[in-house]
Amino acid sequence: AQKITQTQPGMFVQEKEAVTLDCTYDTSDQSYGLFWYKQPSSGEMIFLIYQGSYDEQNATEGRYSLNFQKARKSANLVISASQLGDSAMYFCAMREYLGTYKYIFGTGTRLKVLA
Amino acid sequence: DSGVTQTPKHLITATGQRVTLRCSPRSGDLSVYWYQQSLDQGLQFLIHYYNGEERAKGNILERFSAQQFPDLHSELNLSSLELGDSALYFCASSPTGRAPEAFFGQGTRLTVV
């Protein structure tokens, strides 16, 4: 069964420190994509970063990087130099193509950045 | 501002009723996705349309239906509403059916009483 697991319901990090949000996935498909989204308290969903299963290098977008370990089926999000505005809910998601695209989301990790 | 517009922002309705949620994608985006976010089910993918055609179906109930019109806006119709349908409904758009990133609207908060 397709599955995304985020084991950290909540995390704290000091401002300017780096933080890693964990995500593991389960799929039997060879071709898939992994995403991270941010949801601030205002409620909107913001796309952060994408990693394709065939991408050889880890994806990076500014202060966000995705630590992709295919053999371990993990796709952790690393946020460097945390800012107060990074406080939000973070969702890991997977897209598979099984005739049509399917999307599955994890339960999310609530990150709080401390001043 | 993502460029994706959802209306209405809030909706309160009674059980058994029918509602329509509207989504206008970003200019030029051909793909529209619908998601439901509830406290007990988390974020669930409902359905994906690309240029007017259904491309993918997720956990969408038979009481729910969607369509994408020639001008690319989309509507999500929810009928025979139940208390459990109370949730935040997101629409997202992307330029193609394959593009990994999707830009989300602000959501429509539906409350069924």
Residue A9's CB: how many other CB atoms inside 10 A?
9
Strand partners, B57: B47
Nearest to A100 among B56, B101, B105 (CB): B56
Distance CA A83, CA A16 (A): 6
Q: Tens of pLDDT along chain A (115 residues)?
A: 559 999 999 999 999 999 999 999 998 888 899 999 999 998 889 989 999 999 989 999 999 999 999 999 999 999 999 999 999 999 999 987 766 677 889 999 999 999 9
Distance CA A11, CA B57 (A): 33
What are the distances in angstroms from CA B57 to CA A75, A98, B29, B50, B62? 25, 11, 19, 12, 11
Distance CA B35, CA B39 (A): 13
Is the confidence at residue B96, as pLDDT, over 90? no
Higher pLDDT, B5 or B96: B5
pLDDT digit string (tens) for B39-91? 877 889 899 999 999 988 888 999 999 999 999 999 999 999 999 999 999 99
Distance CA B28, CA B32 (A): 11
Q: What residues of chain B, 55 to 84, have a C-beta less than 8 Å from chain A?
A: 55-58
Chain B's closest residue to A33, CA to CA, is: B100
**Chain A residues near residue B56 by CB distance under 8 angstroms:** 100-103
Distance CA A87, CA A77 (A): 14
Number of residues assigned to chain A: 115
The encoded tokens of residue A52 equal: 């394709």
From B18-22, B28-32, B38-42, the region with the lowest mean pLDDT: B38-42
Are B42 and A107 in contact (CB < 8 Å)? Answer: yes
Are A107 and B2 in contact (CB < 8 Å)? Answer: no
Give the pLDDT score at B97: 65
Which of B6, B39, B43, B44 would best serve as a mutation to test chain A binding (most A beta carbons within 10 A)?
Answer: B43
Distance CA A99, CA A52 (A): 18
Give the pLDDT score at A25: 96
Give the pLDDT score at B59: 81
Residue indicated by tokens 């959501």:
B107
